[in-house]
Homo-oligomer: A and B are copies of this chain.
Amino acid sequence: MIEIQYIFELFGTVVFAISGALAADERQKHDWFGITCFAFITAIGGGTLRDLFLNSYPLVWIADMNVIYAVFAGIFLAGIFYRYFSKLRTTLMLFDTLGIALFTIVGLEKAQSLGANDFISVMMGMFTAVMGGVLRDILINKTPTIFVEEIYATACIAGGIIYLVLDSFGVDRNINFIVSGAMIAIIRIITVKFNLSLPKFYK
């Protein structure tokens, strides 16, 4: 099962790299170097920030070259299937949703294993999932989408809380991983489909 999770993590990395490469180029024509940067930032930015905050070294992508290969695989796929992906925004959204679902639980579990309390663990799970996209958006100089649209990060927080609740009831960890990950994906998909959003702070 550890191996399956590891494969899921690398798969999530590929998906986020694709998403980073495509998102960057919506705004401007970038060269190969720029696209590579954006793919890396989107895929490994969240985990890096989490590990800096939790003092967890070496960073995942410095210790494990497979993460690097996964990012390059994503860039390669984005380059090959560019026209295909950009027509299929729904497909891309589904991949991205899978990515945040996997990364939220992976990040939460890592924070817990480093001794973080429940609140911080949920926060770190959400960070792992969304901060790569936030850093990418800062670099391409737009207000990060998570601040202006959709229940993106909130789905991750909800999934993290579900994970902790099920865990406290003694639910098997592997089942819990799948259930709470699936909840994140379902919340995300429903809110996008029905165009739901959180209430505005001020009327």
Query: Are A143 and B141 closer than 8 Å at their CB atoms?
Result: yes
Give A154 to B198 CA distance when docked, in angstroms: 39
Query: Are A199 and B147 closer than 8 Å at their CB atoms?
Result: no
Give A139 to B130 CA distance when docked, in angstroms: 14
Query: Are B202 and A25 closer than 8 Å at their CB atoms?
Result: yes
Query: Are A33 and B65 closer than 8 Å at their CB atoms?
Result: no
Query: Are B200 and A29 closer than 8 Å at their CB atoms?
Result: yes
Chain B residues with Cβ under 8 A from A52's Cβ?
52
Oligomeric state, in copies: 3
Q: A53-B62, A62-B116 are in contact. Are A201 and B35 (CB under 8 A)?
A: yes
Give A82 to B203 CA distance when docked, in angstroms: 10
- Count how many chain A residues have C-beta atoms less than 8 Å from C-beta atoms of the other chain: 50
Chain B residues with Cβ under 8 A from A48's Cβ?
53
Query: Are B79 and A25 closer than 8 Å at their CB atoms?
Result: no
Chain B residues with Cβ under 8 A from A15's Cβ?
none
* Most B Cβ at <10 Å: residue of A24, A53, A62, A200: A62
